[in-house]
A and B are shown apart, each in its own frame.
Chain A
Amino acid sequence: MARNPVELAGATPEPSFEITMDGRVLPALPGQSIAAALWSAGILAWRTTRVNGRPRGAFCGIGSCFDCLATVNGAPNQRACLVPARPGDLVTTQEGHGRADLAV
């Protein structure tokens, strides 16, 4: 019986690369979404809600629910479950709508 998904799928991934989540350096595998790389590192939340500031992460996993919105390389509101991780990506927890810079 497989011990993990990589073993189950008989996967021999290409070499991993690094992304950064709120300053913490994490490995990501080529072809993984940002959400998948975060789950691999045991991180389940990377957004706080607009009203109550509650933590959220991936929920529907297919781009329908928008709960996994993250700020990637400074651009907010990106669905982490759909956006492929790329070497050097800087992911930061998205607070609320992620547009505090536009506040008046």
Chain B
Amino acid sequence: MPISPSEPPVPPEYDLAIVGAGPAGLSAAVAAADLGLSVVVLDAAAAPGGQYYRHPAPGLGAARPEALHHGWAAFAALVRRLGRHTGTGKVRHLTHHHVWTVERGSSTAWTVHAVTGPDGPEQGRAAVTSRALLLATGSYERQLPFPGWTLPGVVGAGGAQAMLKSGLVLPGRRIVVAGSGPLLLAVAGSLAAAGAKVPAVVEAAGYTAYAGSPRTLAANPGKLLEGAVHGAALLRHGLRPRTRSAVTEAHGTDRVEAVTVSRLDRDWRPVPGTGRRIACDALAVGHGLVPQLELATGLGCATHRTPDGTYALALDDSQRTSVPGVWAAGEAGGVGGAQLALAEGELAAFAIAAVSRSAVRPDARRAVALRRTRARLRAFAAVMAAAHRPGPGWPDWLSDDTDVCRCEEVSAGEVRAAVTDLGAHDARTVKLFTRAGMGWCQGRMCGPAVDCLARADSHADADADADADADADAGPDRRPLSCPVPLAALSRPAALSGPDGPPRS
């Protein structure tokens, strides 16, 4: 989709362009610069860290940002190294640069296009060129709808965490935490530590699913410790997660006032008669994370389905995607957490350095150790993903008038009618009939749910294996533009190299 002027006749500005300044992107940036590459990092936020290491802006004067984080020391060390490299010009960190597309130039160059600045009339555009591209685009939270989930006060679990980490604020004083996945424990712990009452932590899966993989657990004492730390923090606040349970309804008129928590069977179907009402003024809810793949799928990178039902990039041993010249690290290759992202970012930098002319040789022993770490953490991620995969019975907690698509206000009844009466068998066809997924968020919030509803009803008679085959065909969502691009910004010429000019090695 070449919108910009034709490719510049000059050589690429940078050896490596990295999209995303979270754990994977930062780790890759400092490692690549250590190896002599010139690097540009483009990131939408004002400060490095991504979602995981989101932290208060300087004006908030937080003396203990580490109180909101696990593994802050590793991040602080990375930021110091990044600072040294930006000081010498080996790395350029472009903040407030939201990349909306990447364009392939000649076989050796990429043009990365970004919208600059926060939303508003002053947004501009920028573009950089590079020989290699690393996608460290992270993930966003998976949501499954339930009656009342559009009420103010119902927020994403990751959203509550993000607002707390960056703005030092809470959505309420009495916050129920619900959904599925390890993030819930971290969120409940942070909210309670920050002074909120957490009347319940509600997990749809059973933690016993982890016990089926004793060797993977034994190989990951660090991960077990992390879980134990979160668990101990919850116990300190008198919290014990209720497993095999879900918030099946949020109550209130103009904001949430209470939730109903129900027991679930093994397939996540609510068990009739088990509903219990819990008063609260906020609900933080989420069902795991979804890799953010727009830029990668736009370039044609191959994906695969992970055990939790999301799509991730198919990567080789060197973090290479299926498209030559494009690497990926962190959640884009499958949700696995910050430690894994750090290892993968460094490995990707090693691999890119190895094929770049200007690079020093990476430390072979370090590479071996990083590969081992990656294998161990990927195995743990697979166990985790399988344990928290949404059960096929969750749509039973939807009523026909529950809005599934928040943007276009499309109800579960309308989606089901599109499937049963109009023959829609996938999310794309449901979208064409109902507009579900066609709004501002481009299906990021309703996509996983619509996908399930379309397949659940159309494959009602098929067995689980046939369903898995059907899964494999659907492919990830495609969004040609990964963020909104104002026409006013497009009408301005892109700054191909900023005021400081590109660094030269």
Contacts and interface: CB of A to CB of B under 8 A. Distances in A.
Interface in A4-35: 4-14, 29-33, 35
Contact of B152 (A10, A45, A52): A45
B140 A55 contact: no
B121 interface: yes
B162 A62 contact: yes
Contacts of B68: 8-9
B195 A8 contact: yes
A95 interface: no
B291 interface: no
A6 B140 CA distance: 26
Per DSSP, chain A at the interface is loop
Contact of A31 (B58, B64, B160, B255): B58
Interface string A52-64: 1011111111111
A36 B167 contact: yes
A11 B168 contact: yes
Interface residues of B, number: 56
B63 interface: yes
Interface in A58-96: 58-67, 69, 72, 75, 77-79, 81-84
Contacts of A3: 195
A56 B195 CA distance: 25
B23 to A, nearest CB: 15
B59 A5 contact: no
Given A7-B195, A9-B168, A39-B167, A84 B118 contact: yes
14 contacts: A2-B194, A5-B170, A8-B168, A13-B59, A14-B60, A30-B59, A39-B170, A59-B159, A61-B162, A62-B51, A81-B162, A82-B119, A83-B120, A84-B118
Interface of A: 1-14, 29-33, 35-37, 39-40, 44-45, 49-52, 54-67, 69, 72, 75, 77-79, 81-84
Interface of B: 44, 46, 51, 56-65, 67-68, 118-121, 140-141, 150, 152-156, 158-164, 166-172, 193-195, 254-255, 282, 406-409, 439-441, 444-445
Given A31-B167, A59-B156, A81-B162, 16 more contacts: A2-B193, A7-B195, A8-B195, A9-B56, A10-B62, A14-B59, A14-B61, A44-B152, A52-B409, A57-B152, A61-B161, A65-B406, A67-B406, A77-B119, A78-B118, A81-B159
